[in-house]
Copies of this chain bind each other. A is one copy, B any other.
Amino acid sequence: MAGLDDHVGELTVGVDVGGTKIQSVALRSEAIAGRHRLETPQSGAGDVAAAIVEAATKAVAEAGAGTADVRAVGIGVPGAIDTEAGTVSSSPNLPGFQDPEPVPLAELVSSALGEVPVRLDNDVRVGILGEWKRGAGRGYRHLMGVWVGTGVGGGLVLDGKIYQGRGAAGEIGHTIVKPGGRICSDGRFGHLEAYAGRAQMEAEARRRVKRGHRTDLFDIMRKKGRTRLSSGVWATALEKKDKMARDLVDDAVEALATALSSSQNLLAVEAIVVGGGLGDRLGAHFVERIEEGMKPLLFVPDAAPKMLTTEFGDLSGAVGAAVLTGG
């Protein structure tokens, strides 16, 4: 793969790969000049790579340019990433990325785009990078990000740098908020993600329906032509005052307030930005409710962190992926 300096195109491209959608942006002088969104193929790593290429190409076309004008591509992927090798070691929420062999995603995308340089990083980390460098988190020296989507991820800016620890720092979704509580995606119990991650919220809703509880969540899902409880389904059910949806979102708010308070007591950050599919869709009201829930739990209430919604919404990850390349 060529080095970053060998390509002098005017555009940088960022691609955010989620469990349900792939979002791209093309940046020209730090401004969004084009964007594209696709459903994430559920059919394997090769198809995901092809979809990334398509999303990148279409964003570039919308910016009135061609792939020859692309200086570099950044990609955010959920799961464990080897940023040096440009490979995805495993990605629990992405079909086809659980193989024992790491997927050489950077190489696959680069070769399809004329050997353009490609940088990979974790999707949540790039989302927080985007908001920190260009969005709601600009200027903070100590910033925590919590990304509420299919799962719950997190990232940390400490002392003015992305903090990674020995490698997988930021996994706030696996904070234990209720020992022995609801089962989580990793088979352990009582994690934040078990209460606030969309996949586990849906699993719990299905369990409750089986036990005879009523909800309109799945009717709304079908009417929207969905097969999963998307963030939009949850938002609509809340608007319709569906009791189960409200109970489960209440649990999510409480779990987030608990985990974020414990994390704040440990890290004393200046601000917390709440993003991710569900976080963005439920927006300011959701974040205010979390903030309210944190108040009685903070060790130093006078130094409560500023609670922020994202500035770029569902483009945070794509913008941050472009920032990865210096774009």
A residues with a Cβ closer than 8 A to B are 142, 154, 156, 158-159, 161, 163-172, 174-179, 186, 188, 254, 258-259, 261-263, 265-270, 296-297, 299-300, 303
Interfacial chain B residues near A300, Cβ < 8 Å: 167-168, 171
| Chain B residue nearest in CB terms to A261 | B176
Measured CA separation A303–B89 after assembly (Å): 15
Number of copies: 2
Interfacial chain B residues near A254, Cβ < 8 Å: 179
Question: Known contacts A176-B297, A186-B299, A266-B263: does B166 contact A142 (CB below 8 Å)?
Answer: yes
Measured CA separation A235–B217 after assembly (Å): 55
Q: Which of B166, B188, B265, B296 contacts A269 (CB 8 A)?
A: B166
Task: Give chain B nearest CB distance to A121 CB in angstroms.
Answer: 15
Question: Known contacts A176-B297, A177-B176: does B262 contact A169 (CB below 8 Å)?
Answer: no
| Chain B residue nearest in CB terms to A269 | B165
- Can you list 18 A-B contacts with CB-CB less than 8 angstroms, sorted by A residue number? A142-B165, A142-B166, A158-B158, A159-B163, A163-B267, A166-B270, A167-B300, A168-B268, A169-B266, A171-B268, A172-B266, A174-B262, A174-B299, A175-B262, A175-B265, A178-B179, A188-B297, A266-B267
